[in-house]
Amino acid sequence: MRKNKQPATGIEKELKCQTDWPKSRSYTAIVNSEENRYSPETVNLLELTYDQLVDLFRERYGRGAYHSAALYRGFYTHAGLALNALPAFAASPRLAAQVGSDLNCIRPEVADQVSEEGVTKLVFRLTDGLTVETVIVPMTHHTTVCISSQVGCRMGCRFCETGRMGLLRQLSAAEIVSQVYVVKVLLGWAVRNVVFMGMGEPLDNLENVLQAIRVLTDQRGLDIALRRITVSTSGVLEGIRRLAAMDWPQLKLAVSLNAANDEVRSALMPVNRRHDMAALKQTLQTYPLARGNVLLMEYVLIKGVNDHPEHARQLARYLEGLPVRLNLIAYNPRHNTPFEAPTQEDVDRFHQALIAQHVFVRPRRSKGAGICAACGQLGALCNPAR
């Protein structure tokens, strides 16, 4: 396993983008820790859109878009430059000093980096010692980044490694954005797609996820197109409704379904005991989609659990009336799993059964299982090296 720590330089150093991280400690010992909190007067640049930075400069320094634009552009394109080397700040050393004192861009440390089959997993250590994971998936002409929204997850899905951790804490908007910032700006990957499919339930941390999306899509910064962002949910209906109310039809919504009936889904996913599949479908039927967009349904195939021919027929009936593309994913075993992964023959058989029912389905091959970077494998117990 290769260590990869990104040192702070230039603008990053002046804005205090790193601190001295504590070594990883017991999760339970620091869940409620008040360490490493910053005063309300100190603002993290990673949680601001350009317009919000302009407002801040106007309110705090009486300056307009000239200086804030220079800082925002410099931070996201030339982080190695010194703040006072930017023309907008060269003639204003006092302003540069004030900005360096008032703003920070604290981001997680890349504690570990490991790769397999072209997939790279980054382990980020947060300022309180907790860790989250991000997966980089290179494609032919672009890169997809799978990011986390929580440390752990409260949903408790039985097939998911992260669900075994419980919810330790929410990630801030800055901690969410920093995952993409590190991959795109500091590591130099040509990031096009961002998927909220890492650790955590994004709609259980909705306010921070929404702000992160605003920052990610800002054309003056990371410039990730909204249509290239996918938010995945286990079926948190309140969150789906809130997301629908944002009027972002280009944003892609993925639903982790994983069952064709309530009995099986409730056994696998406790969220279904609160909102059954009928309620989920009713909510999805009113979700706004841009022309040509579809809802993404994720179906993790588990041998002997949700892979029977009757399940294929039930699933087809359930999906009727929804503009859906179904992604069929073979189960990736987690630590001490009670479940068995399907064989390729099992996947092919279920795939063909869905096609016979006229379901728009695509089998998805997970990569990175050997480094615990595949679907459902992210989490502390899957990486004993931590």
| pLDDT tens figures, 45-55 | 999 999 999 99
Two structure tokens written together for 55: 């407002």
Two structure tokens written together for 25: 């400690």
- The residue whose two tokens read 């300056």 is 63
Our answer to whether residue 375 is catalytic in this structure is: yes
Report whether pLDDT(356) > 70. yes
DSSP structural state of residue 21:
P
Domains of the chain: 10-31+39-104 (no CATH), 116-382 (3.20.20.70)
Report whether pLDDT(31) > 90. no
| Closest C-alpha to 108, from 163, 190, 182 | 182
Two structure tokens written together for 216: 């990610």
Q: What is the β-pairing status of strands 131-138 and 143-146?
A: antiparallel
| Closest C-alpha to 326, from 318, 334, 336, 335 | 318
Q: What is the mean pLDDT of residues 336-352?
A: 94
Report whether pLDDT(16) > 80. no
Active-site option among 146, 153, 375, 382: 375
pLDDT of res. 333: 83
Average pLDDT, the chain: 87
Helix (H, G, I), strand (E, B) or coil at 250: coil
pLDDT of res. 6: 58
